[in-house]
């Protein structure tokens, strides 16, 4: 994650206004079905929102963790074998529309959050939808009193 220098207040206002007219969605890389949006991204590991993980087969996955997702199907049963997040069981997620591999759902009966999703960077793309009217509510990441880098999700 690359943090940008904090913008001046006037620049921040421009960015916020611009953001009100667009909405980023994280969509299936092969068919474009909406899976989630960047406001659902959160940091689950000390590395932040994005980490690299290696599966037992040696494949490296760049993974982004999100709180919620939709339009997916789970494949197989939850497994704790080789879990990247200790205490969590993973289940393979694929796109409901085209069966593209999206990532994994992680679940735990003991830990909080009890459920989150690790999306493989190879499985999704960020699509910006331009709006003709601004969104009524501010996105979560502009909550007052909280400072974030403007380009907080360099996907
Ligand atoms: Zn798809």
Please answer whether residues 85 and 73 qualify as being in contact, where contact means their C-beta atoms are separated by less than 8 angstroms: no
Between the CA of 67 and the centroid of ligand 1 the distance, in Å, is 19
Torsion, Cα 26 119 28 149, to 10 degrees, reads: 20
What pLDDT score does 135 carry? 53
Flag the least confident range among 7-11, 83-87, 112-116.
7-11
What pLDDT score does 141 carry? 45
Per-residue confidence at 127, pLDDT binned at 50, 70, 90?
confident
Is the predicted pLDDT of residue 62 greater than 50, yes or no?
yes
What pLDDT score does 17 carry? 66
Between the CA of 142 and the centroid of ligand 1 the distance, in Å, is 30
- Check residues 60 and 117 and name the one with the higher pLDDT: 117
What pLDDT score does 3 carry? 62
Counting residues of the chain whose pLDDT is more than 70, the rounded percentage is 71
Between the CA of 127 and the centroid of ligand 1 the distance, in Å, is 14
- Residues 130 and 19: their CA atoms lie apart, in Å, by 9
Between the CA of 96 and the centroid of ligand 1 the distance, in Å, is 7
Q: Which two structure tokens, joined as six digits, stand for 117?
A: 């999703």
Please answer whether residues 124 and 131 qualify as being in contact, where contact means their C-beta atoms are separated by less than 8 angstroms: no
Query: In Å, what is the CA distance from 145 to each residue of 36, 48, 81, 140?
Result: 25, 21, 41, 12
Per-residue confidence at 151, pLDDT binned at 50, 70, 90?
very low
Please check whether the domain covering 19-150 is classified as CATH 2.170.150.20.
yes
What pLDDT score does 61 carry? 83
């Amino acid at each position: 994650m690359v943090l940008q220098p904090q913008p001046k207040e006037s620049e921040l206002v421009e960015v916020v206004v611009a953001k009100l007219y667009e909405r980023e969605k994280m969509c299936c890389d092969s068919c474009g079905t909406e899976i989630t949006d960047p406001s659902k991204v959160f940091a689950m590991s000390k590395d932040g929102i994005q980490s690299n993980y290696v599966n037992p087969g040696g494949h490296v996955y760049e993974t982004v963790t999100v709180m919620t997702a939709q339009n997916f199907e789970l494949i197989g049963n939850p497994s704790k074998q080789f879990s990247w997040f200790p205490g969590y069981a993973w289940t393979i997620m694929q796109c409901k529309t085209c069966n593209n591999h999206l990532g994994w759902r992680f679940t735990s009966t003991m830990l909080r959050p009890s459920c989150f999703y690790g999306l493989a960077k190879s499985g999704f793309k960020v699509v910006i939808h331009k709006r003709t009217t601004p969104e009524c509510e501010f996105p979560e990441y502009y909550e007052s009193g909280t400072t974030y880098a403007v380009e907080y999700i360099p996907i």
